Structures are given as C-alpha cells and as structure tokens.
C-alpha cells in the first residue's frame, strides 16, 4: 500500500469511528484497527488526533462532493439531483454532513471553523450554479427566490436529515432529503403549473 493509500484508509476509518463515537469517544487504536495498520502508523501520517479529524473531514468532503457534482452536472440539474436523492448511494453525503456537524462543535476561531466556512462556500456555490442552469424553458424559478438562499435552505434540510438519522432511523436521512426534493420541485414548478 502506498503512503497516500494508507492515509486514505486511515481517514476512511476515522470517518467511520468519528461518526459512530464522536471525536472524544473514538480512539486511535480503533481507527488503526479499521484501517488495517498499527496505531504508530497513524502518527506517522498525522501529528495528532485533531489533525486526523481535519484530514478525515477533507476526505469526506472530497468523496461526497464528487457524488454531488455528478448529480448536479446532469443536463437537467434538478432531475439529476432528484434522481440522486431518490436512488443514489447517499452514504458518503451523509458521512460528510455528520463530519461537518462534529467539526462545528469545536470553538470558533479554530482552523476547523475556517475549513467549514470554505466548504459551505463550495457547496452553496455548486447548488446556486445548478439552480441557475435549470432549463428555463421547462421550469420557472420565482423571481423572489434567491438561489443562494435556496442553497442555505438545502443545507438546513441535510442537517435535519442527519439529525433524524442519528436519533430515529438511518433511513431518515434519505427520507428528509426526498421531502426536501419535493419542496424544491414545487419551488421550481414546471411552466404553466399553478
């Protein structure tokens, strides 16, 4: 295994462990076990557990954003997005949202907070650009609806879905996103619909 592959394996294991037990409940021993390496190997790649958390957050974003881009890059971004939340594998998206929620608990002013702000800008920008690309021959977006604000609304939907999955059922993430997708469809109603 190359050094990069080992780092990715450690980050993937950390994403799972942090998602299950949080930052303080997770141990580097369990993360090493999940990655198939020794605990000292983690410290060969990462200074400390917080550095590993930041790398795991970046890895979760990289994986989820690839899925998000694939859905939104469809010829019809709305149809691509709705198909993704209806039938796609939402595991990486859900894990990214959980990692972001975990990192948001660290004090303001930390490097994690700045990373989260930059991630929000990326995600909101993707969503806003996709809304602006929706075929205006088939859909009309109400003029008073700002694509950036719709992006923030979608962020709220994903947070609600992750919260529901944590306290109720793992299926709650998809169900909440599907409901959000139906609301989005209503907002971007087909032309001629009332």
φ, ψ of residue 190 to 5 degrees: the values are: -60, 145
Compute, in degrees rounded to 10, the torsion defined by CA atoms 161, 167, 168, 174: 20
Residues 116, 103 contacting (CB under 8 angstroms): yes
Structure tokens at 81: 């997005």
pLDDT of residue 141: 58
- Hey, where are the domains in the chain? 1-46, 56-187
Note the CATH architecture for domain 56-187.
Answer: Orthogonal Bundle (1.10)
Token pair 């944590």: residue: 166
DSSP state of 168: T
pLDDT on residue 188: 76
How many alpha carbons fall within 13 Å on the CB side of residue 63?
A: 21
pLDDT at 98: 95
**Residues facing 139 on adjacent strands:** 190
Give the per-residue pLDDT at 47. 94
Q: Which residues of the chain have pLDDT under 70?
A: 109, 135-144, 189-194
* pLDDT for the residue numbered 145: 73
- Cα–Cα distance list, 29 to 57, 67, 103, 182 (Å): 19, 30, 21, 43
Q: d(Cα 55, Cα 20) in Å, to the nearest integer?
A: 17
Q: Which fold has domain 1-46?
A: Arc Repressor Mutant, subunit A (1.10.10)
- Where do we find the tokens 């990486």? 92
Give pLDDT, residue 27: 97
Q: Quick one: pLDDT at residue 136?
A: 60
Please indicate whether the domains covering 1-46 and 56-187 agree at the CATH topology level.
no
The pLDDT of residue 103 is 94
């Amino acid at each position: 295994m190359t050094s990069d592959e080992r780092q990715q394996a450690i980050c993937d294991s950390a994403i799972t462990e942090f998602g299950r037990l949080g930052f303080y409940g997770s141990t580097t021993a369990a993360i090493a076990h999940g990655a198939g390496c020794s605990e000292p190997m983690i410290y060969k790649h990462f200074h400390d557990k917080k550095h590993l958390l930041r790398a795991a957050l970046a890895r979760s974003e990289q994986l989820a954003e690839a899925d998000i881009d694939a859905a939104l890059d469809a010829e019809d971004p709305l149809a691509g997005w709705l198909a993704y939340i209806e039938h796609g594998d939402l595991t990486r998206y859900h894990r990214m949202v959980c990692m972001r929620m975990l990192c948001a608990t660290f004090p303001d002013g930390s490097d994690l907070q700045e990373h989260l702000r930059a991630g929000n800008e990326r995600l909101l920008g993707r969503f806003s650009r996709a809304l602006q690309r929706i075929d205006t021959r088939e859909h009309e977006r109400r003029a008073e609806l700002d694509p950036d604000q719709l992006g923030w609304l979608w962020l709220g939907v994903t947070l609600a879905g992750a919260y529901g999955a944590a306290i109720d059922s793992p299926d709650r993430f998809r169900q909440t996103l599907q409901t959000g997708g139906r609301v989005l469809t209503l907002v971007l109603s087909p032309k001629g619909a009332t």
